[in-house]
Amino acid sequence: GDSVTQMEGPVTLSEEAFLTINCTYTATGYPSLFWYVQYPGEGLQLLLKATKADDKGSNKGFEATYRKETTSFHLEKGSVQVSDSAVYFCALSKRGGSNYKLTFGKGTLLTVNP
Amino acid sequence: GAGVSQSPSNKVTEKGKDVELRCDPISGHTALYWYRQRLGQGLEFLIYFQGNSAPDKSGLPSDRFSAERTGESVSTLTIQRTQQEDSAVYLCASSALQGAQLYEQYFGPGTRLTVT
């Protein structure tokens, strides 16, 4: 079945450091890919998405590019802030009838220190 | 407008008891999903509703789990004879669905269930 593998955390960085969180997927067909973020004490929210190969999703300084050849969707940010501390989830979705259920990775905890 | 709400936010129950978890989706969202997040694991899909019907129940882990949705709105997830392995955060999400368009899933804050 479909699956998502993301780098295990926790990841601890200093403010203004470069961030990469690796994500690879296994799926038949052409899934859409997502990064969700969960800030402390808050619900899960969509950070960015890409729906086809070579698409780049971006939001709040974060970027990820849908690489079909390497089945990857790595999350990057050039300069992290303390406010980026959160759990990040990579996910995929494929249409099954009208069901767009999400398949998630296990999540990566990011802590950014001042 | 209001987001997805879930109640209760926390539930502690004794092994063997039944529990009901409630989800109020965003008004007008026809698609509703339940997911489960166990400690150290990613979110697992449980069930999908399109309107009031559930065309995909493939993620329900056993027949102790059931869910219903009424009025194309509120959904209730029921766990009978709870077991310790049912301890998890249960998340509900809703989305608008029109034709072949994929719309963002909006998540509620979750219900943390602890079975003692």
| A97–B contact, CB cutoff 8 A | yes
CA–CA separation, A18 vs A39, rounded Å? 19
pLDDT tens readout for residues A48-103: 999 889 999 999 999 999 999 999 999 999 999 999 999 999 999 987 666 788 99
Of chain A, the end-to-end C-alpha distance in Å amounts to 41
Do A106 and B59 make contact, defined as CB atoms within 8 angstroms? Answer: no
Q: How many CB pairs under 8 A join A and B?
A: 63
| A28–B contact, CB cutoff 8 A | no
Do B107 and A4 make contact, defined as CB atoms within 8 angstroms? Answer: no
Q: Is the pLDDT of residue B87 over 60?
A: yes
- The pLDDT score that the predictor gives to residue B40 is 78
Lowest mean pLDDT among A6-10, A29-33, A87-91, B1-5: B1-5
pLDDT tens readout for residues B21-44: 999 999 989 999 999 999 878 899
CA–CA separation, B14 vs B27, rounded Å? 34
For residue B66 the two structure tokens come to 């059931």
From chain B, the residues in CB contact with A104 under 8 A are 35, 42-44
**DSSP assignment of A98-114:** TB--EEE---EEEEEE-
